[in-house]
Structure 1
Amino acid sequence: MSTLTKAFSYSVGKKLIMGLTGFFLITFLIEHVIGNFLMFGGPEPFNAYAEFMGHTWFIRIAEVILFLGFIIHIYDGLSISLQNSKARPVGYAVKAGSKNSNWFSRNMKWTGTILLVFLILHLVSFFMTARFGLDIGMGIDMSMFPYDTISYTSDGITEHSLWHKAAAQFSVEWYSAIYVLAMVVVAFHLLHGFQSAFQTLGIKHPKYAGMIEKAGLGFAILAPAALASVPIYFVILKHSGELATFFIGSFGF
């Protein structure tokens, strides 16, 4: 058995790989925050960003690596969870769990599973359109942001505006509600995962433990909140006329 195979087979090796892939996914999350924030600037900056992401060869390679990172992270997470369940009797696990770990660490498998379901929904909603042209409408009303009628020209090729597609998707209340709730779960997952990655890789020195914990808490709150702000903005934008009428009628503004 090779060293790499042993690393995948044993719990310690799997935790190391979990930490490494976790760091990789954190960088993806940061990039996603930056990209989503371009939505606030209107179609031009976001479409330029989408074009760069979709037509740059090393980004395509990074997408494959990212996909593999997700698969490995999910597989190792479920594998470690199953190993831990088999290694300890139920009664012992309950008693020890409440004493030696917090709620976030004990429920990583559940928050991870919820995020996997959301990730599939998110890929169906956006990635299939951006990469393969499969516009799966999911019952979305496009009247406010008519994606099919808005296009722009890039290098002589007429393409649909992905900003309008995303804006239409985020203006739907039920979808935005799911997205915001998913970001809450992301925060829960990061509250343990961020610090755990440092500890697993041996980076969490006692001298810097407090700083890492504060950075982890800040990132776990700010990154999901930043992502959640985008759908909230478009739902408010959709109902801005109704809200203005309400405030004028109620308070005489």
Structure 2
Amino acid sequence: MTRRSDSDNDGETSSPSPSWRPKKCKGEKHVSFPPDEEIVSGFAERKDTINVDSLTLAEVIEAYKRSCDKHKVEPKPKILEQLEVTSLNGRAPCLDLKGERLDHLSCEALEVILKSLSFDFINLQAAELEENGASSLLDMILYYESTPHLDISDNTGMGISGWKALSHLIKQSVCLLRLDVCNVALLQYPAQVLSRALLSSRLTVLHLQSTCLSGRPLFTLAGTDDGGQGAEEQILAL
């Protein structure tokens, strides 16, 4: 990520004319400024994305293979098959990773795809996401605004870091509109982070099914909805 910083080119002010030079006070300090054109009033943060217009699918596939080699994991045949029929015009229909085991390094290898392409739907159902991998992958999906519809159902090992990353994704994404979280036990901590995230999210649909919601966790999520905030539609099937 490239950031611009303020210029350090401080020049010295010219000495005032003796006819109107004020008497110096003890400890007086002088401040000078560079010319207006050299002043940087801010910086623009640019996502380090690949210029998709200049890419071909073959180049995306090769980049994924190199990334897998770098992270010492095997390329997923299911991913390669999908990339071969993916369109580079607009969002691709789906990145379907349902049932694919994604450990931490396999998740890291996916970044070259997420920085090159975006999808209408990313399916991570039953991907066996563990804490570090879930955290890393969800951070990427947020950073690259990869999809408006995400399914993370059947991932029971995301851990605290994974749930925190999901919370950040829900709160900060300007793209994510639907989230499916099914067949995952939403105990106290996951319910808390979800409810807090919903207070400032753009989600229109939150689909929860077979999540063992009861007692305080259920009250926590229901309280968010009663407050008139959060997802416009919550699909609950306990």
Normalising by structure 1, we get a TM-score of 0.19
More helix by share: 1
Of structures 1 and 2, the larger Rg is shown by: 2
Whichever structure has more strand as a proportion of its residues is 2
Higher relative contact order (CA 8 A, sep 6+): 1
